[in-house]
Amino acid sequence: MNFILIFKIILIKIIKLNLSFLKREISGYPKSVQKFEQDFSNYIQRKFGLTFCNGTSSIEAAIFALNLSKDDEILLPSSTFHASIGPVVNLFKKPIFVDIDPNTLTIDCNDLKKKITNKSKALLIVHPWGYPCNMDEILKIVKEYNLKLIEDCSHAHGATYNNNKIGSFGDIGCFSLQGAKAIAAGEGGIAVTDNYDYFLRMSVYGHFNRNEKEFQNNDNLKIYAKTGLSKKLRAHPLGISLAAVDLSNIEKINKFKQKIYIKIDRILDQYNNIKKVKNNEKSIRGGFFNGYPCVIDNEKNIKQIITIFHKNKIKISPYPWLMHHKMNIYSNTTNNLDVTEKIFKKIFFIHIPYFLNFDFKKLEKSLVECKKDNLIN
């Protein structure tokens, strides 16, 4: 990214922080937070938005909003950050893990249909590293089986499918505003929806004394609106002031990061056994460009590859997430996720600095050395 834009973003963030502090907009629900919620919702093409202290809380509130029964099944991938799965268990729902597509690393719609039962009530999809899921197929499935749909868009700020923003397809879309994301509050999250009832139910979950007047007197949730179910999950206004700056620059940020990815694509195209993640032809990736995922044929070579890259000051790492379906806590849910288990062993990530330019020469040098040692070809 050119340094003029970097300097501009940093300067505006500093000014925003100072203005918020001077106005004493440093707690509660000041106008700056309400404006961000509306601006973000408009950007994602949704009617309502509600900020949270992190993306995990937004997912938990979304599940609460669906008003499911105890032990209802929620389908979701095992291949995801634990924050996608924890809320399911926290609210006493049963996670049913679905395998992933080996080319896109998004949820496998064929395996999804096999996992649906009469207890299945909702589907929680993840758009990993900003790669959108196959929304055409997913929307057909949720309609056919009458499933509620939550989108975990923590990596997908500004990504699109068929020219529609990711986060606009499900009943509720959930975003992280954590520091590594394209729109960052340091820590934070936001949920967006077109359903006002869902919006109200989410506002009860951790947002005390907000929207209390909107509940009917006979609504069982009205008595909890004052207390937020004794949870305090609202976002910090100072962090939201930072996120507002990124929101106003999100298209520029995504375009710059996409250029880096295109250059890495061209470099990796010279090698046969390094497989790039395939983006759906109807989608445009966006939102999380701090890691470039690659899949290699021979997993035995990954440690040696990492050593060579680190020697050349290029940070890479093996698969960063857990295979949740293999954990004891989920042992009674789902087994036999063949693709997930194979990918887990073969994937590595090239780390990309958030603002600073990426050193392509060091990447090329590392790959040449790996080829010389017969680790890649």
The pair of structure tokens assigned to 354 is 């958030």
Cα 178 to chain centroid distance, Å, stands at 10
Of 190, 223, 248, the last residue of a domain is: 248
Q: What angle do CA 325, 111, 318 make, to 5 degrees?
A: 45
Domain residue limits at 359? 250-372
Identify whether 80 is part of a domain.
yes
- Tell me, yes or no, whether 32 and 135 share the same domain: yes
Q: What percent of the chain has pLDDT over 70?
A: 90
Predicted local distance difference test score (pLDDT) of residue 267: 95
Q: At 7, is the pLDDT very low, low, confident or very high (cuts 50, 70, 90)? A: low
- Model pLDDT for residues 164-176, shown as the tens digit of each residue: 999 999 999 999 9
Of 222, 248, 274, the last residue of a domain is: 248
- Tell me, yes or no, whether 227 and 302 share the same domain: no
Identify whether 191 is part of a domain.
yes
Name the residue among 159, 138, 157 with its Cα closest to residue 149.
138
What is the chain's mean pLDDT, rounded? 88
Cα 174 to chain centroid distance, Å, stands at 8
Cα 266 to chain centroid distance, Å, stands at 26
- Tell me, yes or no, whether 202 and 338 share the same domain: no
- Tell me, yes or no, whether 174 and 137 share the same domain: yes
Phi first, then psi, for residue 170 (nearest 5°) are: -80, 175
Cα 59 to chain centroid distance, Å, stands at 10
Mean pLDDT calculated for residue range 230-234: 88
Identify whether 40 is part of a domain.
yes
How many structural domains are present in the chain?
2
- Tell me, yes or no, whether 240 and 277 share the same domain: no
> Is the pLDDT score of 355 beyond 80?
no
- Model pLDDT for residues 36-85, shown as the tens digit of each residue: 999 999 999 999 999 999 999 999 999 999 999 988 999 999 988 888 99
What pTM does this model have?
Answer: 0.91
Q: Crossing angle for the helix pair 55-65 and 196-204, nearest 10 degrees?
A: 120
- Tell me, yes or no, whether 33 and 160 share the same domain: yes
Q: At 331, is the pLDDT very low, low, confident or very high (cuts 50, 70, 90)? A: low
Identify whether 377 is part of a domain.
no
- Tell me, yes or no, whether 207 and 267 share the same domain: no
Identify whether 210 is part of a domain.
yes
Helix (H) or strand (E) holding 175: strand 172-176
Distance, CA of 302 to CA of 143 (rounded, Å): 41
Predicted local distance difference test score (pLDDT) of residue 76: 95
Predicted local distance difference test score (pLDDT) of residue 11: 62
What is the number of other CB atoms lying within 10 angstroms of the CB of residue 345? 15
Domain holding 143: CATH number? 3.40.640.10
> Is the pLDDT score of 21 beyond 70?
no
Distance, CA of 243 to CA of 298 (rounded, Å): 41
- C-alpha pair distances (Å), 181 with each of 42, 128, 229, 254: 19, 12, 29, 11
> Is the pLDDT score of 356 beyond 70?
no
Mean pLDDT calculated for residue range 132-137: 97
Predicted local distance difference test score (pLDDT) of residue 132: 96
What is the DSSP-derived secondary structure letter of residue 222? Answer: G
Q: Do 317 and 306 meet the contact criterion of CB atoms below 8 Å apart?
A: yes
Identify whether 173 is part of a domain.
yes
The pair of structure tokens assigned to 262 is 């295109």
Identify whether 265 is part of a domain.
yes
Domain holding 335: CATH number? 3.90.1150.10
- Tell me, yes or no, whether 265 and 232 share the same domain: no
Q: Do 202 and 192 meet the contact criterion of CB atoms below 8 Å apart?
A: no
Mean pLDDT calculated for residue range 128-138: 96
Phi first, then psi, for residue 16 (nearest 5°) are: -60, -45
- Tell me, yes or no, whether 187 and 42 share the same domain: yes
Of 212, 231, 248, the last residue of a domain is: 248
- Tell me, yes or no, whether 309 and 178 share the same domain: no
Q: At 288, is the pLDDT very low, low, confident or very high (cuts 50, 70, 90)? A: confident
- Tell me, yes or no, whether 203 and 150 share the same domain: yes
Q: What angle do CA 347, 75, 318 make, to 5 degrees?
A: 15
Identify whether 294 is part of a domain.
yes
What is the number of other CB atoms lying within 10 angstroms of the CB of residue 79? 28
- Model pLDDT for residues 178-207, shown as the tens digit of each residue: 988 999 999 999 999 999 999 999 999 988
Sign of CA dihedral 66, 75, 165, 32: positive
- Tell me, yes or no, whether 203 and 288 share the same domain: no
